[in-house]
Amino acid sequence: MNAGGVSAEEGGDPACWLGRVCPECGLFADEPAPTTCVRCGAELPAAEPEEE
């Protein structure tokens, strides 16, 4: 009885999250980097894509 039950998978690349975790307190930033931690004020540098 669940018509149109589409499971939306969010995200996908865990690597994208790394740039959003505060290096100081580990808080997950609400905004994508670069941003500033709302808890401790540490700067979250933008995650650089790995290119080889």
Closest separation between CB of residue 44 and Zn ion, Å? Answer: 8
Of the candidate residues 22, 29, 33, 44, the single one contacting Zn ion (CB under 5 A): 22
Q: Which amino acid is at 51?
A: E
Residue 17: name the closest of 3, 7, 31, 4 by CA: 31
Cβ closest to Zn ion, residue 30 vs residue 51: 30
Among the listed ranges 7-15, 24-32, 43-51, the one in contact with Zn ion (CB under 5 A) is 24-32
Q: Does 40 bind Zn ion (CB under 5 A)?
A: yes
- Kindly state the helix (H) or strand (E) to which residue 15 belongs, with its residue range: helix 15-18
36 has which bridge partners? 43
